[in-house]
Structure 1
Amino acid sequence: MSLRSITEVPLPSPETIDLVRQSCVDIPEGSIRLARLFYENLFNMVPEIRDMFSDDIKPQQQRMADALLSVVRHLDTPDEVAHYLQRLGAQHHRELGVRPEHYPHVGRALVRAVSEVSPTWSSSMSSAWVLVYQWVTANMLAGVENAMASSAEAGRTR
């Protein structure tokens, strides 16, 4: 998964969004199974990322599961979701040290985790997730860029 800017990544089509939603239809509200598998996959792929998180990963798993399912549910209000994702991207950068080079690993771990929990998984769902994840990533990275620009501007006006 390559990183692209927010100007290069359109909101996925309604059909793509529907496929992503279908892949999550059997995930109950409040379930952390998807997030648990996601973090297992991520830490297996990139073990050094594990140090970015506290020893007790369960609260982070719950936040990730809630955020992901909320984004999937609300993709038909893209402006609100984009604003949320930009704030989240800035927060992850500031509080966890997430860097742009982490995002492709996150995307692969996420798609693998969804494939493991979705009983109706298909190659078209995999493609749909990649498109949605690219849009999510572009918005999160835009949030990081905006936060960094604001910090630089604040530093110049002091």
Structure 2
Amino acid sequence: MQPRRITEVPLPNASVIEAVRESCASLPAGSTRLSESFYANLFVMAPDVRAMFPDDIRPQQRRMADALVEVVRYLDAPDHVAQFLRELGGRHYRELGVRPEHYPFVGRALVRAVSEVSPTWSSSMSSAWVLVYEWITATMLAGAEDAISREEGARRSPGDAAPRGDDRRPPGDRDRSGARSSAGDQRPSDARHAYDTPRPSGARHAYDTPGPYGASQPTR
């Protein structure tokens, strides 16, 4: 089943967000238990995906754990989280070759991983994670579509007019994208975030993206 578009997925409500946070509450700070379980399940469900990652998966597990914790933490600030997820989706498309058909495997692996590490797991938590992941997926795919549109625009010669409808995002999504950009400019001047460190020169990674408040996550 193909993931739904951002215009088809509602933002999770407060009770859903609270259930998702509760499922992660027992994880100690800096723990990679969740991401370790996630990748183990993902590579069983979709073995071909393993080739997208380096042999030593531990740095990737750390990045994924940090990114997921931050997304869950800021779900009630959706404009900032959406900006982060769109950029993450674009980088996953460009740098890892992630396509829409991979996302259902990622979602199932994530839900199973949470069920394995959360002592308070329940069917209601499972439903909450499905709702949250559908929204995360739709937002990341919107970012991937942005990246595809930019690639197509770069391939056209400067004199070519862009064909009507070249922006693959639905009109409603384009409108929200503009609103999110303006919201991102209003972040508090004293806000600090896990990604608030300068990006060193050198290789980038799919998780080296601005965090919810627009700062940069360090590369490995």
Query: For this structure pair, what is the TM-score category when the shorter chain's length is used for normalisation?
Result: over 0.9
SS at match of 1:120: coil
Q: CA deviation at 1:2?
A: 4.7
CA distance in 2: counterparts of 1:51 and 1:149, whole angstroms? 26
Aligned length: 158
Larger mean CA deviation between 148-157 and 83-92 belongs to: 148-157
Q: Normalization by structure 1: what TM-score?
A: 0.97
**1:50 match:** 50
Q: Tell me the amino acid that sits aligned with residue 123 of structure 2.
A: S
Please show how residues 44-123 of structure 1 align to structure 2 within 5 Å: 44-123=44-123
Instruction: Output the amino acid matched with 1:129.
Output: W
Distance in structure 2 (CA, Å) of the matches to 1:154 and 1:102:
26
Rounded to whole Å, the distance in 2 between the matches of 1:93 and 1:63 is 17
Q: Which has the higher contact order (CA 8 A, sep 6+)?
A: 1
Larger Rg: 2
Quote how far apart the aligned CAs of 1:155 are.
Answer: 2.0
Return the TM-score normalized by structure 2.
Answer: 0.70
AA paired with 1:128? A
Distance in 1 (CA, whole Å) between partners of 2:135 and 2:29 is 23
Higher percent of residues as helix: 1
Q: Does 1:26 align with 2:23?
A: no
- Unmatched runs of 5 consecutive residues or more in structure 1: none
Name the amino acid aligned to 1:77: A
Q: Which residue of 2 aligns with 1:154?
A: 154
> Residue deviations 1:41-75, cap 9 Å, x none?
01111111111100000010000000001000000
Letter in 2 for 1:82: A
- Please list every run of 5 or more consecutive structure 2 residues that lacks an aligned counterpart in the other structure: 159-220
Q: Once superposed, what is the RMSD of the aligned Cα atoms?
A: 1.0
Q: Deviations over 1:64-98 (max 9, x none)?
A: 00000100000011000001000001111111111
Q: Structure 2: how far apart are the matches of 1:54 and 1:26?
A: 29
Code of the residue aligned with 2:129 in structure 1: it is: W
Deviation of 1:139 (Å): 0.3
The percent of aligned pairs where both chains have the same amino acid is 66
